[in-house]
């Protein structure tokens, strides 16, 4: 069949049902963007490609549908780097389209030229460059299939002079693979361990959400009466209202879950790579069970046993493995200590819920006093925990929320719970600032009838604030964004209080900036909340207004208290040896 290369490209997108693209328009891909409208493809022209990539991440994580990132070759594409690596560690299947400088001038250091394949080789699961115009459809199809199969971004690099050519090709076929369900021997060994366990615990990771395995893990947990913890930033991997839910492990997580998993003799790590950040000590408790038998289930065999010693490794889809294990359990599985275990789960959860509801303020480490001083400086201002309690009261159960990296967002890790998967969009283990706003925009595009709320600290929000200019356009959806305003880079300031004697280098932000004012200047609603009641009422009203098509930014004024540092394990107090003096500075 004769067609142009851009027609071939777009027809493959249609074969895969890719209806949304995020980026900024550029001449290098105008041949395909020109036919987006007639193909049924929406192009979301964001304010910055970095944010556009995070919108794509939010879109796919909320919907499960693959979308596309695309921009001008060179500087447009380099702006995608942080977003692509973020999506990689979020296990998000995305199509990264990188138009390249023309073949005629590649290597001459021409306009907007950069090595785009080398740039992303550590950030995508698969990459391929189109070598001949006639292979446009074939290569694109393979790239998309690999993104789906490996649940990660995949890259197609296209020299821009390969567009607007006429080719004679057959469109490729889509060949889907069955996902592995685990080996028979490994499943039998794991089922035997679980059947004999006196205190089994299930740990759900992102793979449970991606595989649609929450019902299967619930059935398994109920059969065993096993508490279910979730990995760091995967609060939506098990229903929060379920009596067996024990909350997130890791940084600022759920203390009840930590105390329960510490008792485990068998842990089923379902759909998780057991990343170190999800198992670091919390609340002074080194909770990872040293003697427990660990059963690790992951679709990627390279991840099994990488961070923790495992007794059984199962390569497979989380849903299929959970169902297979349930079918193989002995009739007496879970009976040992069942009544006592159920009672302990309920008691431990209740104790923690009471502790969490009474935690108003952050504690100072011995020898430091920043939090005490912060409270004294603004005695009438909300603390971060007060703000999170107000937010929790106002959030609709069905809402999708996003979070950013930063101290105030991190303090909230233990608060939100969900009744379904694909509801909690956190920046993940790459940890980029500026994720909260764009990811929740992508989620709203994917799920227009679901309320969405983004959360950011004021430092991180400053990186994504330009997207307010995009949201002001009529075709963009209405969202709600909460900005915790305390005029500081809190995570790094906490490091400075603990290890650098309050030497605050680069941690302070301008008190003259009003993010609510910027929102209003962009034609959006900007609200300032100073108390818990004001914040709760503002968020409730913003959700109502969102349904009516109005975007609201809520600037929540909070004091400068600082929670736990991100990396106690990676920091230590410095020492002076040779010494540094201003007198040694030589003029240039």
What is Dmax (Cα atoms) for the chain? 81
pLDDT at 351: 98
Tens digits of residue pLDDT in 492-518: 999 999 999 999 999 999 999 999 999
Tens digits of residue pLDDT in 183-199: 999 999 999 999 999 99
pLDDT at 422: 98
SS (H, E, C) 329-376: CCCCCCCCCHHHHHHHHHHHHHHHHHHHHCCCCCCCCCCCCHHHHHHH
pLDDT at 570: 87
Q: Are 259 and 285 in contact (CB under 8 A)?
A: yes
pLDDT at 534: 98
Q: What percent of the chain has pLDDT over 90?
A: 94
Tens digits of residue pLDDT in 59-81: 999 999 999 999 999 999 999 99
**Residues facing 454 on adjacent strands:** 402, 481
pLDDT at 568: 87
* pLDDT at residue 108 is higher than 90: no
Q: Are 213 and 340 in contact (CB under 8 A)?
A: no
Mean pLDDT value of segment 310-327: 98
Tens digits of residue pLDDT in 177-186: 899 999 999 9
Question: What sign does the CA torsion over 116, 129, 89, 266 have?
Answer: negative
pLDDT at 116: 95
Q: What percent of the chain has pLDDT over 70?
A: 100
**Residues facing 316 on adjacent strands:** 181
Alpha helical stretches, state H, 358-455: 370-377, 384-394, 407-411, 436-446
Tens digits of residue pLDDT in 392-433: 999 999 999 999 999 999 999 999 999 999 999 999 989 999
Alpha helical stretches, state H, 298-337: 318-328
Structure tokens at 304: 């099994």
Residue 4, CA distances (Å) to 1, 8, 136, 163 in order: 10, 6, 10, 8
The model's confidence at residue 88, banded by pLDDT at 50, 70 and 90, is: very high
CA atoms of 279 and 224, how far apart (whole Å)? 23
Q: Are 474 and 426 in contact (CB under 8 A)?
A: no
pLDDT at 134: 97
- Nearest Cα residue to 477 out of 567, 531, 562, 549: 549
Left if phi > 0, otherwise alpha if psi is -120 to 50, otherwise beta: which for 542? alpha
Least confident of 346-350, 438-442, 572-576: 572-576
Mean pLDDT value of segment 485-489: 96
Mean pLDDT value of segment 40-55: 98
* Residue 262: burial class (beta carbons within 10 Å; 0-12, 13-18, 19+): middle
* pLDDT at residue 272 is higher than 80: yes
Spatial strand order in the sheet of 452-457: 424-425, 400-402, 452-457, 480-485, 552-557, 525-529
* pLDDT at residue 473 is higher than 80: yes
Mean pLDDT of the chain: 96
pLDDT at 37: 98
- Nearest Cα residue to 226 out of 89, 326, 359: 326
Per the listing, tokens 């209003």 go with 520
The three-state secondary structure class of 488 is strand
pLDDT at 112: 86
Structure tokens at 465: 């604030």
pLDDT at 8: 98
Residue 28, CA distances (Å) to 96, 101, 124, 158, 514 in order: 15, 8, 22, 9, 37
Mean pLDDT value of segment 96-103: 91
Cα first-last separation, the chain = 67
* pLDDT at residue 277 is higher than 90: no
Q: Are 260 and 229 in contact (CB under 8 A)?
A: yes
CA atoms of 298 and 147, how far apart (whole Å)? 17
- Name the pTM for this structure: 0.96
pLDDT at 109: 73
Per the listing, tokens 């446009």 go with 136
* pLDDT at residue 279 is higher than 80: yes
The total of other beta-carbon atoms located within 10 Å of residue 578's CB is: 5
pLDDT at 176: 87
Q: Residue 45 — φ and ψ, nearest 5°?
A: -85, 95
The model's confidence at residue 30, banded by pLDDT at 50, 70 and 90, is: very high
pLDDT at 276: 82
Mean pLDDT value of segment 473-483: 97
């Amino acid at each position: 069949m004769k067609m142009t290369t851009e027609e071939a490209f777009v027809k493959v997108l249609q074969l895969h049902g890719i209806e949304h693209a995020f980026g900024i328009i550029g001449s290098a891909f105008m041949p395909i963007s020109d036919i987006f409208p007639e193909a049924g493809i929406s192009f979301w022209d964001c304010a910055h490609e970095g944010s556009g990539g995070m919108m794509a991440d939010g879109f796919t994580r909320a919907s499960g549908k693959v979308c596309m990132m695309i921009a001008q070759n060179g500087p447009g594409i380099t702006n995608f780097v942080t977003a692509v690596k973020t999506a990689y560690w979020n296990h998000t299947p995305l199509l990264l389209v990188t138009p390249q400088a023309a073949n005629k001038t590649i290597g001459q250091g021409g306009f907007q030229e950069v090595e785009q394949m080398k740039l992303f080789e550590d950030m995508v699961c698969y990459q391929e460059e189109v070598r001949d115009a006639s292979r446009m459809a074939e290569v694109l199809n393979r790239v998309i299939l690999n993104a789906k199969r490996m649940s990660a971004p995949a890259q197609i690099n296209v020299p821009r002079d390969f567009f607007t050519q006429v080719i004679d090709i057959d469109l490729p076929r889509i060949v889907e693979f069955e996902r592995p369900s685990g080996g028979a021997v490994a499943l039998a060994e794991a089922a035997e361990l679980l059947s004999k366990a006196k205190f089994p615990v299930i740990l759900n990771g992102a793979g449970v959400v991606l595989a649609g395995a929450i019902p299967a893990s619930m059935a398994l947990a109920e059969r065993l009466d096993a508490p279910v913890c979730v990995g760091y930033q995967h609060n939506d991997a098990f229903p929060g209202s379920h009596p067996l839910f024990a909350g997130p492990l890791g940084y600022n997580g759920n203390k009840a879950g930590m105390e329960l998993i510490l008792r485990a003799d068998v842990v089923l790590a379902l759909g998780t790579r057991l990343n170190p950040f999800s198992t670091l000590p919390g609340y002074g408790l080194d909770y990872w069970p040293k003697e427990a038998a660990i059963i690790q289930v992951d679709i990627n065999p390279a991840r099994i046993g990488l961070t923790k010693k495992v007794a059984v490794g199962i390569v497979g889809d989380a849903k299929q493995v959970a169902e297979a294990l349930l079918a193989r359990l002995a009739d007496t599985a879970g009976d040992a200590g069942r009544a006592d275990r159920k009672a302990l789960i309920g008691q431990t959860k209740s104790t923690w819920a009471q502790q969490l509801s009474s935690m108003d303020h952050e504690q100072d480490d011995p020898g430091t006093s920043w939090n005490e001083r912060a409270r004294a400086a603004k005695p009438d201002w909300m603390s971060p925990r007060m703000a999170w309690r107000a937010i929790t009261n106002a959030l609709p159960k069905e809402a999708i929320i996003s979070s950013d990296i930063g101290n105030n967002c991190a303090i909230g890790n233990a608060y939100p719970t969900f009744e379904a998967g694909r509801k909690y969009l956190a920046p993940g283990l790459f940890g980029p600032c500026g994720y909260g706003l764009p990811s929740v925009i992508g989620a709203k595009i994917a799920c227009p009838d679901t309320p969405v709320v983004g959360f950011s600290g004021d430092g991180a929000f400053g990186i994504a604030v330009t997207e307010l200019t995009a949201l002001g356009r009529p075709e963009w959806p209405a969202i709600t964004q909460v900005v915790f305003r305390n005029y500081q880079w809190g995570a790094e300031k906490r490091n400075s209080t603990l290890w650098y004697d309050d030497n605050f280098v680069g941690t302070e932000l301008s008190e003259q900036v009003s993010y609510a004012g910027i929102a209003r200047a962009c034609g959006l609603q900007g609200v300032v909340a100073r108390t818990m009641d004001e914040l709760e009422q503002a968020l409730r009203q913003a959700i109502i207004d969102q349904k009516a098509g109005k975007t609201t930014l809520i600037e929540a004024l909070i004091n400068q208290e600082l929670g736990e540092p991100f990396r106690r394990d990676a920091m230590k107090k410095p020492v002076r040896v040779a010494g540094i003096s201003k007198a040694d500075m030589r003029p240039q």
